[in-house]
Amino acid sequence: MLKELRPALSMVVVLTVLTGIAYPLAVTGVAKAVFPWQAQGSLIEKDGHVIGSELIGQSFSAPAYFWGRPSATSGADPHDPTKTGSVPYNAANSSGSNLGPTSKALVEGGGSAIAALRSAHPDHKGPVPADLVTASASGLDPHISPVAAQYQVNRIAVARHAPVEAVRTLVARHTEGRALGVLGEPRVNVLRLNLALDEALPIK
């Protein structure tokens, strides 16, 4: 057994240097040179301050902004850091709800999301789009479906004293189709859309 140790130990060292140091550093070097913005996390700046990442959803609750999906992430309670509580869109602690389909908590949570959406959108009488009712896998989903964006258009128009058509046009412009016409699902990036909203139809 002892004579097995030398090759084993030196091989662990050699492969660690190769795959654990040389390889990630080489990837970092090339990535930063060729795709610097992506390598840094696709950060969006406004007036010199980082306001978020294009890929990471953030929490929106004001009536004048499009809302993203429910998020099940948690974090330190802002009032009492020794406790953890619900902190939606905590980008340092990704998580889904992990509730199973027969879970009472899932159905009650969905029910209260539906009630809140209905009272905020009195113009809609029909069923609520599923992605606005269900928590995403990461808790950081940056997207909503085009249907979920259209669902919110009237509320935004009222809150911004803007014509409904103008809001609708912005949503259409920010709707991404399937990649290469077939991959993934059509979607709207909520942060990008809200930024465009602030630019085109500022809150008066």
Residues between 63 and 82 with contacts to other proteins, criterion CB under 8 A: 65, 69
State yes or no: residue 193 binds other proteins (CB under 8 A). no
What is the number of other CB atoms lying within 10 angstroms of the CB of residue 77? 13
Q: Which stretch binds other proteins (CB under 8 A): 87-95, 156-164, 166-174?
A: 87-95
Q: Which of 48, 61, 81, 122 binds other proteins (CB under 8 A)?
A: 61
| Count of residues near other proteins by CB under 8 A | 103
What is the number of other CB atoms lying within 10 angstroms of the CB of residue 44? 17
State yes or no: residue 48 binds other proteins (CB under 8 A). no
- Backbone region of residue 83 per phi and psi (left: phi > 0; alpha: psi in -120 to 50; beta: other values): beta
State yes or no: residue 137 binds other proteins (CB under 8 A). yes
Q: Burial, 53: exposed, middle or buried (Cβ in 10 Å; 0-12, 13-18, 19+)?
A: middle
Residue 101, SS3 per DSSP: coil
Which one, 55 or 200, has the nearer CB to other proteins? 55
Which one, 7 or 81, has the nearer CB to other proteins? 7
What is the number of other CB atoms lying within 10 angstroms of the CB of residue 88? 20
Query: And the tokens for 150?
Result: 């259209």
Which one, 162 or 188, has the nearer CB to other proteins? 188
- Interacting residues with other proteins between 146 and 165 (CB under 8 A): 147
Write down the least CB distance from residue 166 to other proteins, Å: 19
Q: Which of 63, 165, 169, 185 binds other proteins (CB under 8 A)?
A: 185
Q: How far apart are CA 108 and CA 45, in angstroms?
A: 38
